[in-house]
Amino acid sequence: MKFNPEKLKIKDQRMVPFIDPEEIWGIIRDNPSDAKLVKGIVAKSLDKQRLTLAETAVLVNTTDPDLVEMIKEGARQLKEKVYGNRIVLFAPLYVGNNCTNNCQYCGFRTSNKDTIRKTLTDEELIEEVISLEETGQKRLILVFGEHPDYTPEYIAHSVKLVYGVKKDNGEIRRVNVNAAPLDIDGFRIVKDAGIGTYQVFQETYHPETYSKVHLGGAKRNFDWRLTAFDRAQEAGVDDVGLGVLFGLYDWRYEVLGIIRHTNHLEACYNIGPHTISFPRIQNASMLNVDKAHFVSDEDFVKLVAIFRLAVPYTGLILTARESAEIRSEIMRFGVSQIDGGTKIELGGYSDKKSENQNLNKEQFQINDSRSLNEIIDELLGNNYLPSFCTACYRKGRTGEHFMEFSVPGFIKRFCSPNAILTLVEYLEDYAPEHTKKLGYEVVEANINDLSQNYDMGELKGRIARIKAGQRDLYF
């Protein structure tokens, strides 16, 4: 298929599809790896500068083990120096799995008659949120299939319902959404409901592969999906989450696809993606994809490190699709958000009987089924600072990752203290004794570290107020 945007006769030039496979492959071909180049590119990123497509191509072409190590070490340093040790926690909440699309990798696709279809009633959705609040969650992403029932009004209704559920000291303070692309009016409706990030994964930036794996329904339209965030921006939804489903096509091409998309958003709207997600294909009921492009663990670590270096200001999300071991390994290379206590079966959080995974009820198989507290234990044990912070979004500081990254001292003045305050809330309200002990040791160590440059009086005062029963204190 020849890329010819002229033919589309689109009036607003920003909405013209911008992915040209020949251009992307040309950039990969023209930028072989070379020790001196890799060194310079890693140094540029550590100097907090975005990488170009050509520079990213050099990194994806790198196979020499010493140079790959240099890339990974660069990503580790960037994460440590720029973002510190915080990891933000969230949970996905599946609202409805009706779907009119026929994506060959997804258990919810319309041709899968084995799937048990369900849309949560309002009461069931409330039950799910109560169960999540009872474990300490503060940030959710609502997930929907693509179906005429899931209108913008319905998505907005679900978001508002979730914000309204308060159990004891529990509340959800940020609701993100992963759903089909909307038109501009649709995005306006969900924006008004107070959503955080709107996530839509392109799945693959390779149009031919895209056509092969999307066999029916509205999702067949590659360009409509590709331009979703242009419409989102037009509607004022400026926190957007990009993603690729790794395993559908060559991972090197897909990494460049995401960077091309990032360049487009930056050039047209002066704002890059809030987050990048990089799910790898997992087993699913009736999974029907060619395994030729499945990504090895080794390449997976490499590609995450490359994302960290290429777009240093964007949050990177690693989900429970991956095993606990892989998650621990990869976190060091620049991941900023993970899910915890994840259940992807419809109604799975409130259904205490259903402990085992059942592929007919789920979109795909997850490989990390640890509880939120088990994940927090591991994070604390490895000196990470678990965070449920939602402050920037609620203070109107949108583009927070950008500020963290570019405003000197921002993390130490805002992010770390807010992470500490939300962790203290968790320790007081939900943690068992051993987690509480470990958690306060980590809090202490972080305060000591911050006190070298900042007065900790206000933070210590707020911690005391939380211990005395106040909640939701943030900077």
Residues numbered 195 to 224 that lie near ligand SF4 (CB under 6 A) are 219
User: Contact, 121 vs 161, CB < 8 A?
Assistant: no
Q: Which of 145, 217, 272, 340 binds ligand SAM (CB under 6 A)?
A: 145
Does position 363 bind ligand SAM by CB under 6 A? yes
Least distance between ligand SAM and beta carbon 229 (Å)? 13
Nearer to ligand SF4, 99 or 306 (CB): 99
Least distance between ligand SF4 and beta carbon 98 (Å)? 9
Least distance between ligand SF4 and beta carbon 64 (Å)? 37
Residue 109 interacting entry, from ligand SAM, ligand SF4, none, C-beta within 5 to 8 Å by type: ligand SF4
Nearer to ligand SAM, 249 or 384 (CB): 249
Does position 279 bind ligand SAM by CB under 6 A? yes
Distance, in Å, from the CA atom of 247 to the CA atom of 404, rounded to the nearest integer, reads: 32
β-pair type (139-144, 166-167):
unpaired
User: Contact, 244 vs 210, CB < 8 A?
Assistant: no
Burial 52-65 (b: 16+ CB within 10 A, else e): bbebbbbbbbbeee
Least distance between ligand SAM and beta carbon 281 (Å)? 5
Alpha carbon dihedral 108, 112, 115, 119, in 10-degree steps, equals 50
Least distance between ligand SAM and beta carbon 17 (Å)? 18
Nearer to ligand SAM, 364 or 414 (CB): 364
Does position 385 bind ligand SF4 by CB under 6 A? no
Cβ-based neighbour number of residue 118 at 10 Å: 16
Alpha carbon dihedral 100, 106, 108, 111, in 10-degree steps, equals 60
What's at 93, amino acid-wise?
L
Distance, in Å, from the CA atom of 112 to the CA atom of 124, rounded to the nearest integer, reads: 24
Does position 108 bind ligand SF4 by CB under 6 A? yes
What track of x and - describes contact with ligand SAM for positions 91 through 130 (by CB under 6 A)?
--------------xx------------------------
Record the tokens describing residue 165, joined without a space.
């559920």
Distance, in Å, from the CA atom of 17 to the CA atom of 223, rounded to the nearest integer, reads: 6
Nearer to ligand SAM, 84 or 196 (CB): 196
Calculate the CA 174 to chain-centre distance: 13
Least distance between ligand SF4 and beta carbon 197 (Å)? 17
- Number of residues forming the site for ligand SAM (CB under 6 A): 20
Distance, in Å, from the CA atom of 102 to the CA atom of 443, rounded to the nearest integer, reads: 48
Q: Which of 120, 189, 281, 415 binds ligand SAM (CB under 6 A)?
A: 281
H-helix or E-strand containing 90? Answer: strand 86-96
Q: Which of 38, 89, 103, 379 binds ligand SF4 (CB under 6 A)?
A: 103
Nearer to ligand SAM, 338 or 466 (CB): 338
96 half-sphere exposure, CB direction, 13 A CA radius? 20
Does position 200 bind ligand SAM by CB under 6 A? yes
Distance, in Å, from the CA atom of 380 to the CA atom of 237, rounded to the nearest integer, reads: 34
Does position 282 bind ligand SAM by CB under 6 A? yes
Distance, in Å, from the CA atom of 181 to the CA atom of 224, rounded to the nearest integer, reads: 8
User: Contact, 243 vs 199, CB < 8 A?
Assistant: yes
Does position 224 bind ligand SAM by CB under 6 A? no
Q: Which of 307, 364, 393, 426 binds ligand SAM (CB under 6 A)?
A: 364
Sign of the C-alpha dihedral computed for residues 156, 162, 165 and 169 taken in this order = negative
User: Contact, 312 vs 343, CB < 8 A?
Assistant: no
Least distance between ligand SAM and beta carbon 399 (Å)? 24
Does position 180 bind ligand SAM by CB under 6 A? yes
Binding region for ligand SF4 (CB under 6 A): 99, 101, 103, 106, 108-109, 145-146, 219, 363
Binding region for ligand SAM (CB under 6 A): 105-106, 143, 145-146, 178-180, 200-201, 203, 245, 279, 281-282, 284, 287, 321, 363-364
